[in-house]
Chains A and B, each alone.
Chain A
Amino acid sequence: MLDSVIFYFFAGTAVVSAALMVTRRNAIHSAVFLIATLLATAGIFLQLRAEFLFISQIILYVGGIMVLFIFVIMLVRLDVPLPQIRSRMQKWIALFVALAVGVEAGVVIFLARKVPGQGLLIPNPAPAEKLPPNTEELAKGLFGSYLLPFEIASILLLVAMVGAVVMAKKRADAP
């Protein structure tokens, strides 16, 4: 009972904020709604008992990436939000295609219960009390089987940091 309330709360917030995010004229409003979506996603992670991922999402995504976005939006802020003068059809085509894909995939997902042998295989999840502590499990995975991707990810972050600094730096001869 509590589980479904929490799920519907976070899921509803995520979907509504996401929809609001892609439709705002003002970029800062979009950023604020993306923050709301990311926090709702973090809530979903928490509900799935992925606690370390929940806090990583909050520290990295919301506390890091979104601050970066807001800084950049403030730096490139053009005074007037320009209207969408492009073809109106674009919006409706996108909406139609999205709905079509959504309905199709939704049918696949929900058929799994109705017709056994067709659609998705529904696994049986372990009950929440018997789960091992999440941080230790993640650490065992990260420093055990997935050590090489971990090291590569750190090199990737270093390269990205250097690249971002180089690209955003003012050139020495610029006015």
Chain B
Amino acid sequence: MSATLHSILTFVQTWWVELLCAVLIVLVVPLIAGYIVLVERKVMADMQARLGPMRVGPHGLLQPIADALKLLIKEDLIPDAADQFIFWLAPVLSMTAALTSMGAVAFGPWFQVARDINIGLLFVVGVSALGPFGIVLGGWASNNHYSIIGALRSTAQLISYETTAGFALVSGFLLAGTLNVRSIVETQRADHAWYIFLAPVGFFTYLIASIAETNRAPFDLPEAESELVAGYMTEYSGFRWSLYFLAEYANMIVVASVGTTLFLGGWLRPFPNVHWLGWLDAAPTLLLVAVAAYCVFRAGKQPARVQSLLMWAVAFACFVVAIIFALTGPFGHPRLRFMHDGLYGAFWFLLKVSAYIYLFMWLRFTLPRFRFDQLMRLGWHILIPLALVNVVGVGVALALTSEFGLNRWLAMVFTTLATLGIAMLLLRWNDKYSAAASAALLADSPIVEDSRAG
């Protein structure tokens, strides 16, 4: 008995950092996902010239808490003819896949659960591929026509764009030469370039595929309100629905993190090796001080006392964090210098992930929705060939660089242009083919015949 206890204690002692990160992920990510929903509603409101949630808490900041409470106390409805076991299992699968895949994501150089595994980013991609199971099983278990059609559509969309995302990531892996998350970021530092500049086609293909992977607009046909009731989530209410919802937003964070790590330089600041841009190191501190100053400036103009108190509180918090950043920075206290990499890296990483997610939201409120067949055509006819050609192109460029000693940037520019040229050709052929196909379809259609006859 004491031997077991002793081995458990040694285990915790050796791995306490990773265990702490894991516990933080499981506890904090649902809360953060809730606040991302609030941010989305505020951004949506801003783009639609209105204010968004303002009532619950100052400036609507307690809205996610109120929503979570409401969902928790709602009645848990299970349809009579539903398959009980799978109805229970499906949202659990979705949430488990989303949270487990966060295990290998490095939010900055210190915060990572599965450190130094040699399949790093592939683990994230692979485990998040278990997400569609929660969707398709949930739709089936609901015993509802809308659910199952929505589930099949959503799963078909997800597995189609998984291939594209995989190919786009492969072009990044070819450049990095490794799957290990830390090595990918370090290689970007050593190469003096974020891989978005070396493989832009890969990045943009991954961006589009990741929008489709997380069921976000303009690819959100399976869960749009005006289509199929609510798709696979129709019969789910209360806490089960919130599990699905949180899994979707956690997936967004995962997908943004993968894109950031591989293409946007992870936790490196812009131009990490350029010495005369070293003043960028002070950017986190300056940014936080600017936010604090803005809050102080606006605090006096708030209509309600609670809101101005909130502004003062936010300003104070930002100021405190700015002081922490300044103390650990290059001009700070030498004893605290060891925290520099972790804190600053986490700041830059979260900034990039936020930019990526803001881009998701921006696209959601700007573009109209794709029809399902248009979505599938985009995935299979256009993006997969493009991603394939991109992989070949990056491989050729790397071969040219290593075998023939060509300049890396020249090779990359050349292959990017070649890939884009082939993409133009593909689009041209696709238009011609689909025009011919729809013409042939219309010619056989009885409707057209009747109108011609009558």
Residue ranges of A at the interface with B (Cβ–Cβ < 8 Å): 1-2, 26, 28-29, 32, 35, 51-52, 54-55, 58-59, 62-64, 66-67, 70-71, 74, 133-136
Q: Are B119 and A67 in contact (CB under 8 A)?
A: no
Q: Are B7 and A2 in contact (CB under 8 A)?
A: yes
Please indicate which of the listed interface residues A29, A32, A35, A52 has the most CB atoms of chain B within 10 Å of its own CB: A32
- Let me know if B86 and A28 touch, CB within 8 A: yes
A134 to chain B, nearest CB (A): 6
The listed residue with most B CB atoms (<10 A of its CB), out of A26, A51, A136, is: A51
Contacts of B152 in A (CB 8 A): 71, 74
Q: CA A103 – CA B278 in complex, angstroms? A: 70
Secondary structure type dominating chain A contacts: helix
Contacts of A51 in B (CB 8 A): 117-119
List the interface of chain B (C-beta within 8 A of A).
3-4, 7, 11, 83, 85-86, 89, 117-119, 122-123, 125-127, 129-130, 132-133, 136-137, 140, 148, 152, 155, 159, 162, 179
Complex-state Cα separation, A35 to B179, whole angstroms: 26
- State the Cβ distance, B12 to closest chain A Cβ, in Å: 12
Residue contact A74 to B140, C-beta cutoff 8 Å = yes
Contact of A32 with B86 in the complex, beta carbons under 8 Å: yes
Q: Collect the chain A residues with CB atoms within 8 Å of residue B119's CB.
A: 51-52, 54-55, 134-135
**CB atoms of A58 and B129 under 8 A apart:** yes
Contact of B133 with A55 in the complex, beta carbons under 8 Å: no
Contact B133–A67 (Cβ < 8 Å) = yes
* A to B CB contacts below 8 Å, 9 in the list: A28-B137, A55-B119, A55-B126, A59-B125, A62-B130, A64-B159, A71-B155, A74-B152, A135-B179
Contact check, A70 vs B126: say whether CB atoms are below 8 A apart.
Answer: no
Asked if A28 contacts B122 (CB within 8 A), the reply is no
Question: Chain B: which residue is nearest A56 at the CB level?
Answer: B126
Contact A32 B89 (CB under 8 A): yes
Total residue contacts A-B, CB cutoff 8 A: 68
Q: Does the CB pair A59–B129 fall under 8 Å?
A: yes
12 new A-B contacts, CB < 8 A, other than A59-B129, A70-B133, A133-B118, are A2-B7, A28-B140, A32-B85, A52-B118, A58-B130, A63-B130, A67-B155, A70-B137, A71-B152, A71-B155, A74-B136, A74-B152
Query: Which residues of A are found within 8 Å of B3, using beta-carbon distances?
Result: 1
Identify A32's interface contact among B11, B118, B126, B137, CB under 8 A: B137
Q: Least Cβ distance of A81 to chain B in Å?
A: 12
**A59 to B159 alpha-carbon distance, docked (Å):** 11
Chain A residue contacts of B4, Cβ below 8 A:
1
Contact A67 B159 (CB under 8 A): yes
Distance in angstroms between the alpha carbons of A5 and B63 in the assembled complex: 44
CA of A63 to CA of B93, assembled, Å: 13
Question: Within the assembled complex, what's the spacing in Å between the Cα atoms of A168 and B177?
Answer: 39
Judging by beta carbons under 8 Å apart, are B148 and A55 in contact? Answer: no
Q: Kindly state the separation between the CA atoms of A133 and B178 in the bound complex, as whole angstroms.
A: 11
| Cross-chain contact B86 with A29 (CB below 8 angstroms) | yes
On whether the beta carbons of A1 and B89 are closer than 8 Å, the reply is no
* CB <8 Å contact, A58 and B126: yes
Q: Smallest CB–CB gap between A25 and chain B, Å?
A: 12
Complex CA distance for A136 and B118, rounded to whole angstroms: 9
Contacts of A63 in B (CB 8 A): 126, 129-130, 132, 162
In the complex, how many angstroms separate the beta carbon of B439 from the nearest chain A beta carbon?
Answer: 17
Q: A-B pairs with the 10 shortest C-beta distances?
A: A63-B129, A59-B126, A133-B118, A55-B126, A58-B126, A1-B7, A135-B118, A51-B119, A55-B119, A55-B122
Task: Give the shortest distance, in Å, between B130 (CB) and chain A (any CB).
Answer: 6
Shortest Cβ distance from residue B13 to the other chain A in the assembled complex, whole angstroms: 13
Instruction: Determine the distance from Cα of A20 to Cα of B4 in the docked complex, in whole angstroms.
Output: 31
> Which residues of B have CB within 8 Å of A1?
3-4, 7
User: With A55-B119, A55-B122 as given contacts, are A67 and B7 in contact (CB-CB < 8 Å)?
Assistant: no
Distance (whole angstroms) from the CB of A110 to the closest CB of chain B: 26
Q: B83 — which chain A residues lie within 8 A by C-beta? A: 26, 28
For B132, the chain A residues whose CB sits under 8 A away are: 63, 67
Structural contact, B123 and A55, CB atoms closer than 8 A = yes
Contacts of A59 in B (CB 8 A): 122, 125-126, 129
Across the two chains, which residue of chain A brings its CB closest to B131?
A: A63
The answer to whether A70 touches B86, judged by C-beta atoms less than 8 angstroms apart, is no
Q: Please give me the residue from chain A that is nearest to B178 by CB atom.
A: A135
A63 to B130, CA, bound (A): 6
- Measured CB to CB, the closest approach of chain A to B107, in angstroms, equals 21
Q: What separation, in Å, do the CA atoms of A55 and B123 have in the docked complex?
A: 6
Residue of A nearest to B89 (CB): A32
Whole-angstrom distance between the Cβ of B126 and the nearest chain A Cβ: 4
